[in-house]
Amino acid sequence: MSDGARTAIVRMPDGTVKQVGPLTGTRVWTVPGRAHRPLSPPRDDPRRLAPGEERRLCAFCVDRYLETTPEKSRLVGPAFVERRRVPADEVDDTVAEFRRFGNLFEIVSAEYWRENHGFRQPSAIIEWAQEYLSSPIGRAHLEKLAAIRSAASGIPQSLEEATLDLLGGSHDVIVARRHVADGAETDDDLVSSGRLTPDEHAAYFAFTVRSLAEIQASQPHAAYVAVFQNWLRPAGASFDHLHKQLVAIDEHGPQVDRELRMLAADRELYQHRIADLAVEEGLIVAANDHAVAFAGVGHRYPAFEVYSRSPANLPQEHSAAEIRGMSDLVHALHAATGVHVPTNEEWHYRPPEAPWPMPWRVVLKWRISNPAGFEGGTKVYVNTIDPWELRRRAVEALIPLRHDGSIAPDLRIGEECTAEDARLRYSEPVTAPIPATAGAEEAE
């Protein structure tokens, strides 16, 4: 065992596991006897759905399209054909498998970019706004949304200015079609990432990658675009309806800055601190030819880390096959997690202007506990499941899922993985042009 492994994770004589996050420095303990607590909180009694109610359970549902901001794009049909800027009077002409639109209540608002950076919307957004307002249905849609925003902020805006903000913001939401399963009889038959098919999840994942690239290109003052998914209310979701969010910000954030400082001393940081540690401690969960999943060390919550094995750093620089490899592993871990466990999915990658190579990785956290007084006073966090137990549970769940076809069939699971599966290539030079991100077929 290396010195780094001894520092990062150790089991004490009484069974307590002490961890230090290799990238964060976060101190975490797992105390014996707490690992068997239930993963998901008790749920209210399921409520029986009335006929058709599954289509209107929240503002993201298919019968409530005009309760969200105008669509930037949607994917339609089994081939996931992409339609862009769907007019208000055409939103019900097709059923969207996935939709992308601006967040009505942005974390970083259009006003932020306008007032702090002097950003003005490009002509394409102005033309889209004029076209949308020219339709009576579109105008009524925007008037309603503008009134909601104005009432919430207390700041009056003209309809034209509000429209530009609603269409040209840099905080987007990507929403899946189903709130509950097709044919669901009760409101707890939810559709999480793990209940999508591998192909559906791949379309969702690739759509997110393309959206990330578009936001980076459209907001020149952004240093980074945060990508995340909150599943269920204990994990921060407003609705129990599957969706991802993308938020442009004008700084990297302290964690990225910390990793860049560490990279200045060790370009192979993620190989040495993460992948090699996972091999030494037996923490590889699963792998395919393009990505590898570890049980993470030093997280406040039980967490999986999925690392791309590509030389590419930015998600949109990956080939279609590499994006699919990442998607298949993330999807499998969601499926192994189960639908009623609150989770956060976080994407990490090299900021476009960063000087050092960084791998694309996705962290999936089980939000099954709440830090309280002990953690606040000591800054030592109690994680009820240690990485070895997390890996055991995941492997046990993944094998039958692969057998019944619920996840990608080419995943290597548990002991099927080798040390070669944990070799990261993010710092290798790219010797051939990287294919443009594969997009869905488009239809205007």
User: Could you tell me the residue ranges of all domains in the chain?
Assistant: 1-41+96-106+181-428
User: Do the Cβ atoms of 301 and 369 come closer than 8 Å?
Assistant: yes
Average pLDDT over residues 361-366: 98
Percent of the chain topping pLDDT 90: 86
What pLDDT score does 265 carry? 95
Other C-beta atoms closer than 10 Å to the C-beta of 87 total: 16
- State the chain's mean pLDDT as an integer: 93
If pLDDT is split at 50, 70 and 90, which confidence band does 385 have?
A: very high
Tens digit of pLDDT for each residue in 390-444?
999 999 999 999 999 999 999 999 999 999 999 999 999 876 545 545 444 444 3
pLDDT(171) > 90? yes
What pLDDT score does 2 carry? 45
Give the containing element (helix H, strand E) for 347: strand 343-348
What pLDDT score does 156 carry? 83
CA distance 162 to 432: 45
Q: Distances in Å between the alpha carbon of 295 and those of 10, 202, 279, 416?
A: 15, 22, 11, 16
CA distance 9 to 305: 16
CATH of domain 1-41+96-106+181-428: 3.30.428.10
Average pLDDT over residues 297-323: 97
What pLDDT score does 443 carry? 43
CA distance 15 to 286: 26
443 has which bridge partners? Answer: 83
CA distance 8 to 4: 6
User: Do the Cβ atoms of 32 and 16 come closer than 8 Å?
Assistant: yes
Lowest-pLDDT range of 2-16, 29-43, 101-115, 404-418: 29-43
Average pLDDT over residues 124-141: 97
Average pLDDT over residues 159-168: 94
What pLDDT score does 326 carry? 98
291 has which bridge partners? Answer: 308
CA distance 310 to 292: 11
Average pLDDT over residues 327-335: 98
Lowest-pLDDT range of 97-111, 239-253, 386-400, 420-434: 420-434
pLDDT(108) > 90? yes
Residue the block writes with tokens 């014996």: 32
Residue the block writes with tokens 């669509």: 71
What pLDDT score does 438 carry? 44
Give which of 368, 250, 238 is closest to 303, Cα–Cα: 368
Average pLDDT over residues 278-298: 98
User: Do the Cβ atoms of 46 and 186 come closer than 8 Å?
Assistant: yes
pLDDT(35) > 80? no
pLDDT(41) > 90? no
Lowest-pLDDT range of 139-143, 167-171, 258-262, 437-441: 437-441
Other C-beta atoms closer than 10 Å to the C-beta of 323 total: 26
438 or 151: which leads in pLDDT: 151
